[in-house]
Amino acid sequence: MTVSLKKVLEFIFSHIAVYVLSYLTLYSIIIFLPLVLPPQRLLYIPVLYAIVILIPLIAIQLGVAIHELIRLKPAPVLLIYYFLFDPDKDLPHEALDPTKSGIGLASLILLLSGGYIVWPVFTLYGLLTMYEIYGAQFSPTPEFIKMYVEQIAFAIPPFLAILLLILILTVLTIERRYISR
């Protein structure tokens, strides 16, 4: 059995991407959670909503990645997974197929209810925070971290509105496609 260099690199980079993406997001959640619980301002509610979406998504992502690591296969990245395959065909991972698995349905619902927006935002803030603490040798104050939390809280609602508009247009397009057949 020969394994090509391309498959080995795909395996390595997919797992590294999944674990780094998950770690940065969890790092961001760990920093922000004590600052927004209990919510002292109405502005912190979108951040809590994002955290509630992200925690199960990260658990699903890491569970599938570990399963694929055991099977020695590349890990799927949930943020792009559902865009990689034809919607009329079966997905290669049955656990992520929303028509065959509750986990797949839950992950798709979580992604569509804001995961596509908040996951990259939290990953970016996790990366920026790690850079500020470890790369720039800067020790952030609680006020500095609260400023980050407020910036996220201001950024999430407009992105969710854009996502909702995109979803509405997508559903309308799909409906027109099936009606015209």
Q: What is the pLDDT of residues 1-33, one digit of tens each?
A: 567 888 889 999 999 999 999 999 988 888 878
Q: Between these two residues, 151 and 51, which has the higher pLDDT value?
A: 51
Q: What is the pLDDT of residue 114?
A: 83
The conformation of residue 98, written as its DSSP 8-state character, comes to T
- What CA–CA distance (Å, rounded) separates 38 from 44? 9
What percentage of the chain exceeds 90 in pLDDT? 13
Q: Which of 78, 24, 71 lies closest to 56 in space, CA to CA? A: 78
Mean pLDDT of 32-47: 78
Q: Which of 17, 49, 51 lies closest to 31 in space, CA to CA? A: 51
- What CA–CA distance (Å, rounded) separates 181 from 178? 5
Q: Which two tokens stand for residue 47?
A: 């951040």
Q: What is the pTM of this model?
A: 0.74
Total structural domains in the chain? 1
The boundaries of the domain holding residue 113 are 5-179
